[in-house]
Chain A
Amino acid sequence: MAEVKEYFHIAIRNLRTRSLRSWLTILGIVIGVFLIISLLSLSEGIKQTINQQLRSLGGEMIFVMPGDISNIMAMFTSGAKLEKEDIGAIERTRGVETVLTMSYQSLVARYGQEGKMVFMSGLSWEKGIEIMERFQGWSLKQGEWPTPGKREILIGKQVETEIFEKPVKVGSEIVIKGKRFKVVGILNSLGSKQDDSSLYLDLSLYQDLTGEKRGAAQMAMVKVRDGSDVNKVAEDIKENLSETRKRRIGTDVADFSVITSEKMGDIAGSIMAVIQFAIIAFAGIAIVVGGIGIMNTMFTSIRERTREIGIMKAVGARNSAVLIIFLFEAGIIGFAGGIGGTFLGAGLAKAIEMYGQVHPLFYFSASITPGLIVFGLVFSFLVGCLSGFFPARRAANLKPVEALRRYE
């Protein structure tokens, strides 16, 4: 076992003397590992952010959204509405305690001289505030809750400082579509940048402003009565909704989705799984290319050093000794690439996260765990060894005479 240390030493010496080629090969691995680590830590971060947000939605809620959940893009862009009858159908369902309807849209808001596009949510204050406080963790940083029916708005934490040049103060006015609204309260962070950079106002005011039909809404949040089975209630809501719809429009095409918060997590999870799979596949290709680079370098180096291999064998090196030395060389190349790639990848992920914190464009943080770093290093070492295996085995199996004949 003691001689393994010496083999390692010899491998290091060999790498050092052909350093340019070694570095170039290492670079190949750096790129692959860099991709894997940065993309994985970002996607893992996004996943965690989503989970966090879902958790902040609070226990057992049911969401009713128009459109088909299996087509996410259409769902958010279709602009389909839940009509008054639909909402009535939801409210009538057994086990439903409260239905909170809401609508949202991006609009230009003026503050002083400045006009900015902001996200605006309308929700009925009367039921809304209590539900939001209890189940969504809303709390006031400053000011007070708005009075239903008055032209008063709440702003997210980011709106206070990030959106407009001048900080928005409680008591100041924001103008939307020519109408003046008084800022009466600032919310504490809701845990997501999207929510923190929104304006919140009474649904009826919102509907006046946007021309949305009274009584309709874009989505509904359903609080289930204690002791009711959420999944059962969700099923019932779905049934009631399709009946109402059939009566009204004459089709039972499922153009709305009823999802429990648990299911929402599942959906988000499976979307992330697909994204991560794609990431791993692409980064995997990069790693394979890097591995081929190592293999190529090792084959070249073995051809050049055939004579050396012959000498080692002449002076008593067993096949295993030669194999180990060359495996070490390949493994060290992989490992060095792993260090570089992990370092750069983690750095990029951190940089993107920091950028995301300054600009409310990205809503996630990177997740750089010790596990991920260890994975990056061990994985790249293994890639090195694996790519080095065939070249090393060829070197180990060389016959001493044949190896010694080169150079002669």
Chain B
Amino acid sequence: MAEPVIKLENVWKIYQLGKVELVALKGINLEVAPGAFVSIMGPSGSGKSTILNMIGCLDFPTQGKVFLKGEDISLLTENQLSQLRGKTIGFVFQEFNLLPNLSALENVMLPMIFQGMSEEERRERAKALLTSMGLGERIFHQSPELSAGERQRVAIARAFANNPELVIADEPTGNLDSVTGKKIMEILTDFHKKEGKTIIVVTHDPNIANYSEEIINIKDGQIIANHLTASKVLWQR
């Protein structure tokens, strides 16, 4: 098997709430192969977002290791990590994805600024992405002038801006009606198929999970089973 895009090795996350310890992740082991489409499911509070933060290199484990393309992220400086994250990972959150003061176009251009892309290149790519999302008419609108579905599409366009290897989405359809949600998932699946990008989605919705090739179930900070809907099991506990 090819080198996993992301690998979690015995990852623990413990939050210190005053004197009480809250163990959010209990020794997670996980590998995601390049080009996979993975869903993470589980009840509220089970630790899905926490895992996703580890995968997205937004947070560090209390114990254990995270490897992004084979590189131990705990060895990187904050700035190196930002750089790597911006280049390798695209993010779509449930809501409030966009910078409200910037237009759709500028939001999509933002990650490319941090990678030092030229203004012209940025503009071209952002326009192309937004147009492919069916937002060609909306590029100068700011987020308050967009519908929830449109905002999510802008967010997806932005997630793909730097042509990342991995896109992670935390309940990207959680705030949308089922029709719009379906559309968003189709866009994601489309990108996955066309570009062969790795996608990891956290969701509550079994219908959404059906788009993916693999489902990881989480409960109380532990992976309880890997539902196999695709061809192979990447990790069996």
List chain A positions with a Cβ less than 8 A from chain B: 2-3, 6, 10, 13-14, 16-17, 307-308, 311-321, 399-401, 404, 407-408
Contact = CB atoms under 8 A, between A and B. Distances in A.
11 contacts: A10-B102, A10-B106, A13-B102, A13-B106, A311-B99, A312-B110, A314-B58, A315-B114, A317-B114, A318-B83, A404-B58
A2 B122 CA distance: 13
B101 interface: yes
A316 B86 contact: yes
Contacts of B161: 315
Interface string B87-131: 100010111111111100010001101111011000000000000
B53 A316 contact: no
A401 B94 CA distance: 14
Interface residues of B, number: 34
B21 interface: no
B96 A307 contact: yes
Contact of B87 (A16, A17, A316, A407): A316
A3 B96 contact: no
Given A316-B87, A319-B82, 20 more contacts: A2-B119, A10-B101, A13-B102, A13-B106, A16-B101, A311-B96, A311-B98, A313-B58, A314-B56, A316-B82, A316-B162, A317-B82, A317-B86, A318-B114, A319-B78, A319-B79, A400-B58, A401-B58, A404-B58, A407-B95
B153 interface: no
Contact of B100 (A17, A315, A316, A318): A17
B85 interface: yes
Contacts of B48: none
A13 B110 CA distance: 13
Most buried by B among A3, A311, A316, A319: A316
A321 B86 CA distance: 13
Interface string B14-29: 0000000000000000
Most buried by B among A311, A315, A317, A400: A315
A316 B56 CA distance: 11
B59 interface: yes
Given A316-B82, A317-B86, A404-B93, A14 B101 contact: yes
Nearest to A18: B101
Nearest to A9: B106
Interface string B56-93: 10110000000000000000001100110111000101
Contacts of B56: 314
B158 interface: yes
A316 B85 contact: yes
Consensus secondary structure, chain A interface: helix
Nearest 8 pairs between A and B by C-beta? A316-B86, A316-B114, A315-B111, A401-B59, A400-B58, A13-B101, A17-B101, A318-B79
Nearest to B98: A311
A35 B161 CA distance: 49
Contact of B96 (A16, A312, A318, A407): A407
B99 A3 contact: no
A10 B58 CA distance: 23
A311 B83 CA distance: 14
A244 B97 CA distance: 92
B97 A311 contact: yes
Nearest to B84: A316
A396 to B, nearest CB: 10
A314 B101 contact: no
Contacts of B158: 315
A283 B79 CA distance: 41
Interface in B203-227: none
Contacts of B118: 2
Given A316-B87, A316-B162, A319-B78, A3 B114 contact: yes
Nearest to A308: B99
Contacts of A2: 116, 118-119
A372 to B, nearest CB: 35
A6 B101 CA distance: 14
Contacts of A14: 101
Nearest to B49: A408
Nearest to B78: A319
Contacts of B119: 2, 6
Contacts of B97: 311
Contacts of A307: 96
A407 to B, nearest CB: 5
Contact of B113 (A6, A311, A404): A6
A312 B99 contact: yes
Nearest to A407: B96
Contacts of A319: 78-79, 82
A321 to B, nearest CB: 6
B86 A401 contact: no
A401 B53 contact: yes
